[in-house]
Each structure stands twice: as structure tokens, then as C-alpha cells.
Amino acid sequence: MKVYDLIIIGAGPGGYSAALYAARYNLKVLVIGAMPGGTAATAHKICNYPGFEEITGLELMTKMINQIKKLNVEIKQEEVMDIKKQDLFKIKTNKNEYFGEKIIIATGSQRAKLCLEREEEFEGKGISYCATCDSGFYKNKIVAVAGGGNAALTAALLLASVAKKVYIIYRREKFFRAEKEWVEGVEKNEKITCLFNEEITRIEGKDKLEKIQIGNKKEIKVDGLFVEIGGISNLKLAKILGIELEGNFIKVDKEKRTNVKGVFAVGDVTNNPLKQIVTACGDGAIAAFEAYKDIVKEKKK
């Protein structure tokens, strides 16, 4: 029976970064992920990752994959179905079983979508799920933000610093979840117009997004639409292991440890407040280092 020092579940930037550091610590590492590169690989353009003025998500993730392969890290494109903690962690995928001393959960999250016709078609062509990533493309243009929480309001304020006009479209009568600081910032910003008790019902355009329909009649011409209605964390494995959650995210400490011994978590699936590729990579580096220290101590005993 082959036993790995560390099994990383999730093949996105957090998981790849953890694998890179763990391999350099000379650990036996396995990465398991159903989707190589994770959701980061689907990004149309990335302009805020250090070292690259502009790169597609697929290109960046391919570079990470090639880098860790050169360090002889095993990568399995499989889906984890179940996990049990015994003396070792037993991980069952749709194809095999694997055993490891420590695990890092890097299963990420999926941005909630509006589920409108042509939404997928216009992703990267006017529709974005990350203002931090894509705001720079909308200088002096008209944009809309769907949502009314902290993420939506901070996105609107960021966009207002570059765009000509920003609409916030929110289905409730007022902001009730967002922090007061962000609400006041939005209310004071002359570039931002809030449309309450409204929902986007249709998106239109030829080769890219050109306008949105609000309710049954009203249309607004926009160059971009930022969807900020929350995310769906991939918590299946966390729930199986009984890992403590904070809201809809895995709760970790500064060393990326969960409440379950031997289990670390990194990236978008955790309570990390900033969901970005660069922060996921940082999480992965920290988790790999802490796992390495634990393994060294345990072997000495």
C-alpha cells in the first residue's frame, strides 16, 4: 500500500501552490482534482497576478501544472467521492483509493450566477464575476453590478473609480446585509445609481454584452455587468469530516489548520476574506509548510 505524506484535494492555484512547496520540502505529494486549474482556468484575462501584465487563466494554470510536474508531483484527474480518517486518511475517488498522512482541502468555490439566457456566452465579453480582476477594462464606460451585499458594494465603489457610470441592481428595497461603511460610500458617490426592488431579467448583445433588461420593460445600455450575488463553496468533504465552518466557508487559523487534526484548508473554500488567485497561492504555501513541520515532528517521535 502506497502512503503519501500529503494529499491535496483540489487542482486550482491553492492546491498547486501547496504541491510546489511540499515537493520542495521533499514530501511525497499527490494532487487530486476533477478540473485541472479549477475555476481559475476559466478566467478570460488575469491582470492582477504578479509577474504578468495580462494572461489567460488557462495559460497561468498550465504554467503551474508544468512547474509542479517537473518536481515529480503526481496529479490525478479524478473526483473525490468519500474520505475517512483512520490512522491514515483514506480517500476514495471515482477510480481509486489513496492513503495519506495529512491532507489539504483546496476545493474552491463557484460564483453564483444569474442563470439567464446567454450568460455563459457573454462571460468574458461583458459579464464578469470579479471586479478586482476586470475593473480596469471598463475605464470611462457604463457598468452594472448585480447584488446588494458587501461584495457588490465594494465592487461598485472600485468600478466607480474607473467607470463613467455604475448601476447597482438589487432585488430588495434597501441594503440590509452590507456594512454601514460601504453603504455610506455608495450613497455619497455621484457615479453610482442604486435601483432597488429590481432584478435583471434579460441580457442582450451581438458579439458582446450591450444592454440589460430590468423587470419586464426597462432597458439599460451597459458595457459590462458584474455579478456579485455570492458564491457556493465546495464543502462536501468538509462536512464528511466534521470540519468546523464559518458561514459557508471552512474555518481556518493563520496556519491554515482546521479543527480536525491533520487537515488543512486553503483558498476560496476557506474564510479567507479575499478570494483571489494570489491569496490562494499564499494559503497553499503556508499550509504546505505547516504540514511539513508536523510530519517532521511526528517522524522524530
- pLDDT recorded at residue 197: 94
90 with 102, same domain? yes
33 with 101, same domain? yes
Q: Is 186 helix (H, G, I), strand (E, B) or coil?
A: helix
- pLDDT recorded at residue 111: 81
The CATH number covering residue 254 comes to 3.50.50.60
Q: Is the pLDDT of residue 131 over 90?
A: no
Candidates 82, 87, 115, 130; catalytic one: 130
Examine the residue annotation and report whether 115 is marked as an active-site residue of this protein. no
56 with 156, same domain? no
- pLDDT recorded at residue 123: 92
Candidates 82, 115, 134, 281; catalytic one: 134
Q: Is the pLDDT of residue 44 over 80?
A: no
- pLDDT recorded at residue 178: 85
DSSP assigned state of 292: H
Domain boundary among 170, 194, 227: 227
Range of the domain at 266: 3-110+231-300
Domain boundary among 186, 209, 227: 227
- pLDDT recorded at residue 39: 83
Mean pLDDT value across residues 259-276: 94
Domain boundary among 208, 227, 246: 227
Q: Is the pLDDT of residue 301 over 80?
A: no
171 with 94, same domain? no
Q: How many domains does the chain have?
A: 2
Cα 187 to Cα 38, 142, 153, 200, distances in angstroms? 36, 18, 10, 21
76 with 211, same domain? no
Candidates 5, 82, 133, 253; catalytic one: 133
Q: Is the pLDDT of residue 117 over 90?
A: yes
Mean pLDDT value across residues 165-187: 93
167 with 206, same domain? yes
201 with 121, same domain? yes
Residue range 219-267, pLDDT digits in tens? 999 999 999 997 788 899 999 999 999 988 999 999 999 999 999 999 9
- pLDDT recorded at residue 150: 85
- pLDDT recorded at residue 48: 87
275 with 204, same domain? no
7 with 106, same domain? yes
80 with 48, same domain? yes
Q: Is the pLDDT of residue 147 over 90?
A: yes
Nearest CA among 274, 286, 281, 293 for reference residue 67 = 281
Tell me the pLDDT band of 176, cut-offs 50, 70 and 90: confident
Tell me the pLDDT band of 297, cut-offs 50, 70 and 90: very high
102 with 120, same domain? no
236 with 154, same domain? no
Examine the residue annotation and report whether 133 is marked as an active-site residue of this protein. yes
Residue range 48-106, pLDDT digits in tens? 899 999 888 889 999 999 999 999 999 999 999 999 998 999 999 999 999 999 999 99
The separation between CA 121 and the C-alpha centre of its own chain, rounded to angstroms, equals 20
pLDDT-above-90 percentage for the chain: 79
Q: Is the pLDDT of residue 217 over 80?
A: no
Q: Which long-range contacts (CB under 8 A, 24 or more apart) does 60-64 make?
A: 60/13, 60/277, 61/12, 61/13, 61/16, 61/36, 61/37, 62/37, 64/13, 64/16, 64/17, 64/20, 64/37
Examine the residue annotation and report whether 134 is marked as an active-site residue of this protein. yes
- pLDDT recorded at residue 130: 86
Mean pLDDT value across residues 123-147: 93
